[in-house]
Amino acid sequence: MMMKSTQEEAVRFDQQDILSKYRNEFYLIPNQIYLDGNSLGLCSIRAEKTFLETFESWKRDQIDGWSSGEYPWFYLAEMLGAKMAPLVGAKKEEVIATGTTTVNLHQLIATFYHPEGKRTKIIANDLDFPSDIYAIKSQLQLHGLDPEEHFLSVKSRQGRYIDEEDIIACMQDDVTLMILPTVLYRSGQLLDIERLTREAHQRGILIGLDACHSVGAVPHHFHQWGVDFAVWCSYKYLNSGPGSVAAIYVHEKHFGTVPGLAGWFGSDKERQFDMSHVFEPSRQAGAYQLSAPSILNAAPLIGSLSMFEEIGMGSIREKSLSLTRYMMLLIEEELQGWGFVIGNPTEDHRRGGHISLEHEEATRICKALKEANVIPDFRAPNVIRLAPIALYTSYQDVWEAVQRLKSIMVEGKHKVYSHERGVIA
């Protein structure tokens, strides 16, 4: 009979973990186990430092902060884009830090969606994050097209995953564009983007990605795969703070494509202050900016990204997979018979950065977990998302979190809470 995992084993894993030192760089609350970093990453000392340095430059340099100091504001979007490029396997010119995820998605659909003849449809899927669907449908309506006819949603077979074969089957000759997530936000399924990009391009279909739930947890190779465009936020796995700047990737083969939505900060930087009423866009991803960068919102990302530069995505992915694999093992050992179902893919190559634990009492269990100082994330109707983060979650955290969850179930602590979820889940 196999021996159950022990706390001593978790301690040994932490002692062997080459990334364990980075835990000390984050503001952790004593006795709290934070497992919601796939929704909002924690504040780090480095992010705080670059935020305060940037704030100080506003006080000190005033208007000259745009052109002077360690991080001149005028070039900050490009500098951050270059730092994020290795995270997605892109050239530095292909990434720009700008806007918010949904605004950026609107920009790129407006740029690359050109319905012609019978090619009018956009593919998404019925497990997508709602904001993406809202953006797609509103863009169709701006073209005077009925979403009921021109929006094609790939159906999930079991409510957890989207089968790549089903996506490919929808790639018919009436489709011109597809918008897909790299990782499904509920189940954590990692789609085979390389294959889907190849299949789409063979059929003359452009592919755009929402990479919010993978960037900083999963390495990508967008340029090599030929992905046409992508968007992502930076406040989840990149730990840049609530509402921090998002990002756009556009493959260099599309450089020169006129932005669907033009804005002054999309100008060629050498000509921007000519103040011409004739738009001369940048010849790189910067063309798809709309407005001046939100400097103070972007500042924490400078510090946060420095850790990713030091470590590299290979090591981060290795630990992330190890943590989620360990958590699944503990769940199977400790929570058998309590009605839990692991709803994320168990295979490493199909799993993003979080565990999707399904239970009919998920709402109440999440409330009890918070009371027990374990911070989860609830997603309707029955998902408890648990995200151990490579940079600041320890193996002992994972072990202890499962023990606290087991205690909740054994003692029925969740039963004192209502089924009603909070306004913010």
Residues belonging to the binding site for pyridoxal 5'-phosphate are 101-102, 129-132, 210, 213, 235, 264
Give the type of residue at 50.
Answer: T
CB-count burial class (<10 Å; 0-12, 13-18, 19+) for 412: exposed
Annotated binding site: 101-102, 129-132, 210, 213, 235, 264
- Listing DSSP states for 353-399 in one string gives S-EEEE-TTHHHHHHHHHHTTEE-EEETTTEEEEB--TTT--HHHHH
CA distance 330 to 313: 26
Give the SS3 label for residue 229: strand
Give the type of residue at 207.
Answer: I
Residues 6+ apart with CB under 8 A from 293: 73, 76, 77, 97, 98, 245, 265
**Dihedral angle sign, alpha carbons of residues 126, 35, 327, 218:** positive
CA distance 381 to 422: 13
Is there a contact between 153 and 121 (Cβ–Cβ < 8 Å)?
A: no
Structure tokens, 394: 């320890």
Q: Which of 103, 79, 111, 105 is nearest to 93 (CA)?
A: 79
The secondary structure of residue 138, as a DSSP letter, is: H
3-state helix, strand, coil in the chain (%, to 5): 45, 15, 40
Burial 95-129 (b: 16+ CB within 10 A, else e): bbbbbbbbbbbbbbbbbbbebeeeebbbbbbebbb
For 220, other C-beta atoms within 10 Å of its C-beta total: 24
